[in-house]
Amino acid sequence: MAPPIHPISRWCPGELPPPPSRPERDRPRDLGRPRPVESSHPSRGRPWSDRLANRLPGARLPAIPPPRRSLPMPRTRFLAIGFLALAASAAMPAQATAQTKLLRFPDLHGDTVVFTYAGDLWTASSSGGLARRLTAHPGQELFAKFSPDGSQIAFTGQYDGDEQVYVIPSSGGVPRRLTHYPARGPLPPRWGFDNQVYGWTPDGSAVLFRSMRDGWEMSDTRLFTVSVSGGLPEPLPMPVSGAGDLSPDGEKVVYSPLARDFRSWKRYQGGWAQDLYVFDLDSAALTPVAPSDRTERDPMWIGDAIYFSSDRTGTLNLYRFAIGTGEISQLTREDVWDVRWPSKADDARIIFERAGELVILDLESGEATPISISVPDDALSRRPQRVDATDVLEDFELSPKGERALFVARGDVFSAPIEHGPTRNLTRSPGSHDRAARWSPDGKTVLFISDRSGEEELYLVPQDGRGEPTQLTTGGKARKLNPVWSPDGKRIAFADKNGTIFVLTVETKEVVEIADEAEGQSLDYAWSPDGRWLAYTLSDPNDFRSLYIWSAEDGESHRVTDTMFNEYSPAWDPSGDYLYYLSDREYAPQISHIEWNFALNREVGLFAIALREDVEHPFPPRIDEVTIEEDSEDAKDEPSEGDDKDQDDEDEDEHKEDEDGTRPIVIDFDGLASRVARVPVPADNYSGLTAVDGHLLYLRSSAFYYGREPEDPTALVVFSIEDREATDLATGVDGYALSIDGQKVLVREGDSFSLRDAKPEGKDSAKPVSTAGLRVDRVPAEEWPQIFDEVWRRFRDYFYVENMHGYDWEALRDRYRPLLDHVGHRSDLNYVIGEMIAELNVSHAYITGGDFEIPDRPVVALLGCRFERDEDAGRYRFSRIFEGQNEEETYRSPLTEVGVNVHEGDYLLAVDGVELTADRNPFELLRDKDGPVTLEVNSEADREGARTVTVRPRSSETDLIYLAWVLGNRRKVEEASGGTVGYIHIPNMGAEGLREFIKTFYPQIRKQGLVVDVRSNGGGNVSQMLIERLDRELLGTRFSRNSDRPGTYPEGVFHGHMACLINATSASDGDIFPARFKAAGLGPLIGKRSWGGVIGITDHGPLIDGGGVFVPEFGTNDVDGSWIIEGYGVPPDIEVENDPAAVIAGRDPQLERAIDELQKAIEADPKRLPNRPPPPVKVD
């Protein structure tokens, strides 16, 4: 039997990790907005603690995670790097003579245009022509804006690692850095960039930019100005703000309170849709500008009008809002391509992107003139290059006898020696994604999946690399998964994304369908040693899995187990007597210390089914007996040969060996399910079962903890069937692969691989296996179209409804694909793909990461404070020190730790002995410090009398900003309610959200009212756990003799009134929570309509260069099956706007309304637990 490879999946880029569950059980996927982690590189193996994928309530997880993960696509094969370079050059646009597209983020002053192309800044004439390079740097330079006099250009750049604000002479020169506080990131494309430049103050003295520095959640950004002469940035008064532009007199600002300019979601109408307002910087008065149900963005204040873009007609177009009259005029009428990133030039012109080119709109004539610009770029990002492929190592396997290893990395299949010899690239296909490689049982060929034909098909290639691949399947229209050879090499089992299991006969190329998975994908199957039977599992309506066996001879399938237990991971005994498998049935649950409730852990057992009635118990009782040697007389009593000839002939016919020496397996299906025996090992968290001669191999993992590492590393265990003992073969395992002969095992431990003997003694036989030879020819001109096509196919295959929301998906591909000729940087490819998938008008459609250079981000020692400059003293002092909860590392505030004794108002005079004066930014001195720092502080602005303290800084202050906000809210509730109402904030529906709920719910469980705040909740997948606890109904009470305090039945019941706070960025599972809160009748929803994104995602492996894509797969429905929430959000019962003026004054109108509603409810219906009743008298 060709043994399966057992992968351990990593968390999907930046997604909140899911709750523990069986991979064999379908569970909801993550609904949360992914964290800003760009990509994941799945490795091999599958321990119990990692059997999780990003999940979403109401969605379903592929029942058995794929034994490998990745994706493929088609292109031409090249033989030499020189030819590669020549071919790639031919595929590139002739930049010096032809128009270049994908010119991004333009600005205009006089007759000069500035824009970004391939991550660098360029200038050109406003009439077109040849562009001139302004910057050249491995990082990106973006959002260029001319100063009012045109002498300087401000922009966001990555020169020093992270995104900061710079200025450069418009004629070229050395950029000068203006900001120093560490930027958030690197961020996924949907979040854009920190410190995004928007323009200048009207007098040209300062740059206007948007920063995430003061928000605990990435959607809570704010506009700042920073002087071109240096110093600390100054925030504009509005508490939160996205894009903005100052009025010509500098006394007002037009802005959007919300920032979602980079979201790949067109025609969005949820609660996060941007509206524009005019804010008076003096009076804090707020005036709406041209509101609609859709998006208004890119505000520009020109004279007595405000210009903006809006998709109120379905496509982003430019509009004019007359300040005096309120009249709205549509200036452009695009119905295919959006008007992107418009920027005002003067009082008469606006420049913008359209279909990748730049267009200048004359405001007087209304004429829009495209500019034809050629960028003489050296195409550095497009140049072919030989690169290390191990960063995108997707898969591995052993040759039949363990002499060589197969690795799948960056879309190619490699054969690598265990010790000696060359590494061979067997497929050499920069324009296709080859994956899921499997060595044939005879060792001559390698099977793999590739998209080189334009669709994913199965191929064979000679294992020595001396031949071209041969295509085995044709006509595929769905992603193929997990091919598994039969041991005789005659057949291949594989699955597709639809959950269908197929068997391919290699000689005839005939494909037959053997089973259909009703939920998700069934990738859990294994061939019998004789190749005549295939064991597999399918999910039942109860979400448990059952075992089946398919016969290759008659094509019939037989159900083996019933629906009472979850059973999976079949593994055939090499002798053909037993079928081993794993089953969740050893229920001895853990009990919580907080409440009387259980959680399952270590419930997986190992079992064996006897395939025939005459098979003995695999682990019979042991009996010690005296061994008596036979003598010649005893031998005479032995039956003579032929005494049982009839029976022997019958057995011989039944078990006659095939020509290859394999004994055919006979299965008695009558009573099969009753012939089950336990493998004598204690139940635990097992996965990845395989069987070899005399031994079982499997993975053992610790319990999964949401928010902390497991107790013990995953171990590869080998169990001796004869000795009935289990031995840890290796620990810290990320996956393993067996040789077909069962003698060797290749183990992955992190980034390292080793070969071991597949038996207990193999623990000490480890040989390191090098991956140093895994290098590929990176050819972006071929890779980038492949990535584009693969993303298109993944959406076609996995989108949650087949009709693609009514859009012509092929036509959308054809619209955007021509822009690939102009992609000059991997980020450009993400943009083009993002625009295509955004057309589907759906949440959670994300493209992330990829192969492009990002400079190393600096380490900045953060002290948990804010500074202000004392102009008279020429020093900085601490204007605010964030409160901490220093017993918890998450909320440790360095300046408030025991013994530090630094106070607000104190001066910071030096850092590590370097004097700090007002002409330097304090974060300059705190840069590149990743350990304790010494601070010289004084209550006076003088070094005389100063004292020196040593503090442990933080790398981020986000948690402290969050804590300060939460504690402030809790105090407001406490003071306003007189202690009768409690307050809980849930930041997301992941580890942090669970922690905060547990930490704050139970201590406040006897309050009479409770504010449950999910404003700016970033989503995840645990809302159902929280709703279950909040929705518990009081069924009774209990009293003990010595206490007048009643207990509740069940425990953990909140017996009071509740209200839930929501806002525009209550998102994903943070949308679902308030919807279910309302459906359960727990209390009113107060605030603003939520985001409205509830189509969940999971991870299907990396793109060829390590980038990621997330396809909305799992819809959310009401109890009647209707679609809910998506695209609109959850409306509040009581709508309350947090007016900026009120927030600036320290108020929170939404929270105040919740307190008021709860106090009214408490007064009308004071829910209290009963007092102790009189003791019963039971005397007759």
Check if the beta carbon of residue 11 is closer than 8 Å to that of residue 30. Answer: no
Whether 655 shows a pLDDT value over 60: the answer reads no
Average predicted confidence (pLDDT) for the chain: 90
Averaged pLDDT, 313-341: 97
CATH 3.50.50.60 for the 777-844 domain, yes or no: no
User: Rounded distance, CA 261 to CA 295, Å?
Assistant: 10
Check if the beta carbon of residue 1061 is closer than 8 Å to that of residue 1078. Answer: no
Averaged pLDDT, 966-986: 98
Whether 75 shows a pLDDT value over 80: the answer reads no
Contacts of 1031 (CB under 8 A, 6+ apart): 1080, 1082
Range with the poorest average pLDDT among 77-86, 122-131, 851-860, 988-997: 77-86
Task: Give the number of other CB atoms < 10 A from CB of residue 555.
Answer: 10
Q: List every span in the chain annotated with CATH 2.120.10.60.
A: 237-337
Q: How confident is the model at residue 97 (pLDDT cuts 50, 70, 90)?
A: low
Q: With the C-alpha atoms ordered 288, 294, 299, 300, is the resulting torsion angle positive or negative?
A: negative
More confident residue, 832 or 707: 832
Give me the amino acid identity at 1162. I
Strands 578-584 and 715-720 come out as unpaired
User: Rounded distance, CA 704 to CA 712, Å?
Assistant: 10
Strands 424-425 and 435-439 come out as unpaired
Return the structure tokens found at 284: 């804090």
pLDDT single digits (tens) 571-606: 999 999 999 999 999 999 999 989 999 999 999 999
Whether 638 shows a pLDDT value over 80: the answer reads no
pLDDT single digits (tens) 245-281: 999 999 999 999 999 999 999 999 999 999 999 999 9
The full DSSP string for 61-79 is --SS--SS----------S
Give me the amino acid identity at 1178. K
- pLDDT value at position 663? 85
- pLDDT value at position 519? 75
Q: How confident is the model at residue 214 (pLDDT cuts 50, 70, 90)?
A: very high
- pLDDT value at position 657? 63
Whether 284 shows a pLDDT value over 60: the answer reads yes
- pLDDT value at position 382? 87
Check if the beta carbon of residue 1167 is closer than 8 Å to that of residue 1008. Answer: yes
User: Rounded distance, CA 600 to CA 586, Å?
Assistant: 9
Residue 8 CB-half CA count within 13 A = 26
Q: List every span in the chain annotated with CATH 2.130.10.10.
A: 6-70+388-620+663-769
pLDDT single digits (tens) 378-418: 888 889 999 999 999 999 999 999 999 999 999 999 999 99
The CATH code that applies to domain 237-337 is 2.120.10.60
Q: List every span in the chain annotated with CATH 3.30.750.44.
A: 777-844
Whether 83 shows a pLDDT value over 50: the answer reads no
- pLDDT value at position 708? 86
- pLDDT value at position 808? 98
Q: How confident is the model at residue 686 (pLDDT cuts 50, 70, 90)?
A: very high
DSSP class of residue 20 equals P
Burial class (CB in 10 A: 0-12, 13-18, 19+), 600: middle
pLDDT single digits (tens) 852-891: 888 888 899 999 999 999 999 999 999 999 999 999 999 9
Check if the beta carbon of residue 53 is closer than 8 Å to that of residue 404. Answer: no
Q: With the C-alpha atoms ordered 234, 239, 245, 251, is the resulting torsion angle positive or negative?
A: negative
Range with the poorest average pLDDT among 433-447, 657-671, 1158-1172: 657-671
Planar angle of CA 335, 340, 346, nearest 5 degrees: 115
CA 837 to each of CA 405, 797, 868, 921: distance values in angstroms, whole numbers, following the listed order: 38, 13, 45, 42
Q: Classify 710 in phi/psi space as left (phi over 0), alpha (psi -120 to 50) or beta.
A: beta
Averaged pLDDT, 1096-1101: 91
* Bridge partner residues of 1037 (DSSP): 1048
Task: Give the number of other CB atoms < 10 A from CB of residue 383.
Answer: 15
- Helix axes of 809-816 and 780-798: crossing angle, nearest 10 degrees: 160
Q: How confident is the model at residue 1046 (pLDDT cuts 50, 70, 90)?
A: very high
Contacts of 164 (CB under 8 A, 6+ apart): 156, 157, 158, 177, 178, 179, 180, 183, 195
- pLDDT value at position 639? 53
- pLDDT value at position 381? 84
pLDDT single digits (tens) 217-254: 999 999 999 999 989 999 999 999 999 999 999 999 99
The CATH code that applies to domain 865-954 is 2.30.42.10
Whether 152 shows a pLDDT value over 70: the answer reads yes
Whether 88 shows a pLDDT value over 60: the answer reads no
Contacts of 1150 (CB under 8 A, 6+ apart): 1015, 1061, 1063, 1086, 1087, 1088, 1136, 1138
Give me the amino acid identity at 862. L
Phi then psi for residue 684, to 5 deg, are: -160, -165
- pLDDT value at position 659? 63
DSSP class of residue 134 equals -
Rg (CA), the chain: 33
CA 581 to each of CA 575, 694, 696: distance values in angstroms, whole numbers, following the listed order: 16, 16, 10
Sheet bearing 368-371, strands edge to edge = 340-344, 349-354, 357-362, 368-371
- pLDDT value at position 430? 92
Whether 29 shows a pLDDT value over 60: the answer reads no
Q: Helix, strand or coil for residue 163?
A: coil
pLDDT single digits (tens) 1101-1156: 999 999 999 999 999 999 999 999 999 999 999 999 999 999 999 999 999 999 99
DSSP class of residue 391 equals G
Burial class (CB in 10 A: 0-12, 13-18, 19+), 927: middle
User: Rounded distance, CA 15 to CA 26, Å?
Assistant: 18
Check if the beta carbon of residue 938 is closer than 8 Å to that of residue 946. Answer: yes
Whether 990 shows a pLDDT value over 60: the answer reads yes
Phi then psi for residue 257, to 5 deg, are: -65, -15
pLDDT single digits (tens) 526-560: 999 999 999 999 999 999 999 999 999 999 999 99
pLDDT single digits (tens) 293-324: 999 999 999 999 999 999 999 999 999 999 99
Return the structure tokens found at 370: 């495209």
Contacts of 791 (CB under 8 A, 6+ apart): 833, 836, 837, 847, 1103, 1109
Check if the beta carbon of residue 238 is closer than 8 Å to that of residue 819. Answer: no
pLDDT single digits (tens) 600-609: 999 999 999 9
Cis peptide before 13 (omega within 30 of 0): no
Planar angle of CA 740, 744, 748, nearest 5 degrees: 105
Averaged pLDDT, 1060-1068: 98
Check if the beta carbon of residue 43 is closer than 8 Å to that of residue 748. Answer: yes
pLDDT single digits (tens) 462-474: 999 999 999 999 9
**Tokens 């359209």 sit at which residue?**
354
User: Rounded distance, CA 995 to CA 1020, Å?
Assistant: 13
**Percent of residues, the chain, with pLDDT higher than 90:** 83
- Choose among 548, 585, 550, 562: nearest CA to 679: 585
The full DSSP string for 273-327 is ---EEEEETTT--EEEES--SS-EEEEEEETTEEEEEE-TTSS-EEEEEETTT--
Name which CATH class applies to 6-70+388-620+663-769. Answer: mainly beta
- pLDDT value at position 63? 34
Check if the beta carbon of residue 2 is closer than 8 Å to that of residue 527. Answer: yes
Check if the beta carbon of residue 242 is closer than 8 Å to that of residue 256. Answer: yes
User: Rounded distance, CA 1062 to CA 1075, Å?
Assistant: 10
pLDDT single digits (tens) 434-487: 999 999 999 999 999 999 999 999 999 999 999 999 999 999 899 999 999 999
User: Rounded distance, CA 549 to CA 534, Å?
Assistant: 6
- pLDDT value at position 555? 96
